[in-house]
Structure 1
Amino acid sequence: MTQTDKTVAVVGATGLQGGAVTHHLLRGGWQVRALTRDPNGTPARALARAGARVARAQMEDVDSLTAAAEGAWGLFSVQPTVGSPGTAPDFTTEDEVRWGVNVADAAHAAGVGHLVFTSVAGADRHLSEKVPVNLVSKWRIEQHIARLGLPATILRPVSFMENFTGGYALQNGTLSTGLAPDTAQQLMAVDDVGFITELVFRRPEEWIGRSVSLAADELTPVQVADAIGRALGITLPYDQIPIETIRDLSEDFAYANQWLNEYGYRTDIAATRRIHPAAMDFSTWLKHTGAAQISAFLNTEIATAQDA
């Protein structure tokens, strides 16, 4: 049976990771069932035009997930974390875990042949050190997958380069995060996660049962700001947000930044390049799509300020 005979169901197909996975699966010749809560929305219609079959499913509804997964050989699972774009203000880590458990249960009920779950780098260090809550939530989902005995692969990417394309990090003409200026942060392009996911589905005999962390570059925030500035021909200073300021908004988010400053992901970049030699470093990603996305955001921000 070849890729053209196999269907892979993609949870969150209209999101950042799900969209990248769907793109690479379609390019690889797979039949793709794109799961979304809104099949009539603009993103879902775009996936249908690209060749995906769109199906309605909601991660809070395990029955809808099971129905959408029936007959699929593979299933890609990803859940948002607290504060992710598009999540409700009251979305919690317990919601995230429940959604991940629901997808795993649906894969089990539907008899899926290969589940690929994207977790986060460092989740496996939960038992040896105190880690941020978003790592713990992913670990809990991983453990549920293991308890079910599913034929699964766990991918654990580090922070995404795409985090630097919007208001999460770009504020008032500066790059602003909670990281110290000299803290090196490991990064990965979402598109490369999509590439590796397709590779994993294509080689199940090699990948089922494996858990792998993924990183393609490592830069300080000052280096990130400099690289963006060079790509756009602008001056982009770096401004660290004090941890106490972040703590006033969220204790968990403050600890996540402290953890990155003190420990970090510590993923083997060379190992990722052995899997995907063409994985983009930050400069390559800027040339590929990043600079255009950042420029569009900054232009919109300037236009909004002028209209205010």
Structure 2
Amino acid sequence: MDPTDKTIVVTGATSLQGRAVTRHLLDGGWRVRALTRNPDGAPAKALASVGAQIVRAQMEDISSVIDAAEGAHGLFSVQPTVGSPGTAPDFCAEDEVRWGMNIAEAAQAVDIRHLVFSSVAGSGRHGSEVLPQNLVSKWRIEQHLAKLGVPATILRPVSFMENYTGGYALQSGRLVSGIAPDVPLQILAVDDVGFFAALAFSLPQEWIGRATDLAGDELTPVQIAAHIETAIGCPLPYAQIPIETIRAVDEQFAFAHEWLNERGYRADIAGTRRIHPAAMDFRTWLQRTGAAQVTAFLDAQQEVGRRR
């Protein structure tokens, strides 16, 4: 499809996924209407500087999304999950589902021709096994899109490589998580979500009605730590957080880790690469952007430690 003069609305535009999708759409010649609750913030201004139109809207306020999406051709929908950076402390799974349903209903109200929804790998297995809450939430949004009949593409990425660049995984000079050391975990670079979203909008005849799990690599936590260690030139041992320690904080989070340890995502990595041969493996991502992000975070941690 020729994107000339066609506008794609990007919700969550200042999130990692939103920024990646915005960049790929702009590079592909689309006009982008970037929705954010804080148009005056630095992330929004950075998007404006590369050509996005910044519009104030909040996913919990469906009328603001309808107003912002009026006249657009397509819409990219992504919602935060519980614990995502920038969400309120009381943000819950029902909020995520309501926000996603609001976007779907706004798209229907303004006759969006193509909606691309970023879900999560494994959500399509609902009904065949018990799934973690974050997968159930995304599946519920998928089902609402289907019920409304909105022309949609469902992208289902696995865990993001960017999860290994901050305090979620880097603690006290170690890489930590609830995944057992020898259990392979499927991962994907956020930038590749941007590629797939732009591809779907450009080929609606191939992508509307399609749901695809996406993964770029599969590594154990020990292998991930070793690759990071090589890339940054500093020791980074792996330490598993006991599931019971996680359960003492959050039962759902503990179950999510048990699910990853015992079942996992099962995306078709070869299938992802057939569509996108340049999809990044973990070492490529480290070389391009990841190692610099990890180093910057660790340096900032050391600086804070020196000041104490």
Is this a same-fold pair by TM over 0.5? yes
The aligned counterpart of 1:11 is 11
The aligned counterpart of 1:109 is 109
The aligned counterpart of 1:159 is 159
Q: Which moved more, 1:1-10 or 1:217-226?
A: 1-10
Asked if 1:294 corresponds to 2:294, the answer is yes
Structure 1 alignment gaps of length 5 or more: none
Asked if 1:262 corresponds to 2:267, the answer is no
Q: Which moved more, 1:40-49 or 1:131-140?
A: 40-49
Amino acid corresponding to residue 2 of structure 2 in structure 1: T
Amino acid corresponding to residue 307 of structure 1 in structure 2: R
Amino acid corresponding to residue 194 of structure 1 in structure 2: G
Question: Pairwise mapping of residues 99-138 of structure 1 onto structure 2 (< 5 A)?
Answer: 99-138=99-138
The aligned counterpart of 2:233 is 233
CA offsets, 1:242-293, max 9 Å, x none?
0000001100000000000000001110000011000000000000100000
Q: Distance in 2 between matches of 1:102 and 1:292?
A: 37
CA offsets, 1:61-108, max 9 Å, x none?
000000101000000000000000111110000000000000000000
CA offsets, 1:203-259, max 9 Å, x none?
001100000000010000000000000001111100000000000110000000000
The aligned counterpart of 1:187 is 187
SS at match of 2:4: helix
Q: Distance in 2 between matches of 1:238 and 1:205?
A: 45
The aligned counterpart of 2:145 is 145
Amino acid corresponding to residue 34 of structure 1 in structure 2: A
Amino acid corresponding to residue 285 of structure 1 in structure 2: W
Q: Distance in 1 between matches of 2:175 and 2:43?
A: 29
The aligned counterpart of 2:97 is 97
Q: Distance in 1 between matches of 2:53 and 2:84?
A: 26
SS at match of 1:4: coil
The aligned counterpart of 1:252 is 252
Asked if 1:26 corresponds to 2:26, the answer is yes
Asked if 1:273 corresponds to 2:266, the answer is no
SS at match of 1:187: strand
Give the deviation of 1:45 after TM superposition: 1.1
SS at match of 2:54: strand
Give the deviation of 1:2 after TM superposition: 2.1
The aligned counterpart of 2:217 is 217
- Overall identity of the aligned pairs, in %: 67
Question: Pairwise mapping of residues 49-60 of structure 1 onto structure 2 (< 5 A)?
Answer: 49-60=49-60
Amino acid corresponding to residue 267 of structure 1 in structure 2: A
The aligned counterpart of 1:305 is 305
SS at match of 1:5: coil
SS at match of 1:34: strand
Q: RMSD of aligned C-alpha atoms?
A: 0.6
CA offsets, 1:2-50, max 9 Å, x none?
2122100000111100000000001111000000011111111111111
Q: Distance in 2 between matches of 1:226 and 1:265?
A: 22
The aligned counterpart of 1:44 is 44
- Greater than 3 Å deviation, 4+ residue runs: none
Give the deviation of 1:169 after TM superposition: 0.4
Amino acid corresponding to residue 16 of structure 2 in structure 1: L
TM-score normalised to structure 1 length: 0.99
TM-score normalised to structure 2 length: 0.99
Q: Distance in 2 between matches of 1:305 and 1:81?
A: 30
Amino acid corresponding to residue 2 of structure 1 in structure 2: D
Q: Distance in 2 between matches of 1:67 and 1:209?
A: 26
Give the deviation of 1:200 after TM superposition: 0.6
Q: Distance in 2 between matches of 1:94 and 1:206?
A: 32
Q: Distance in 2 between matches of 1:195 and 1:2?
A: 16
How many residues are matched?
308
Structure 2 alignment gaps of length 5 or more: none
Q: Distance in 1 between matches of 2:224 and 2:247?
A: 24
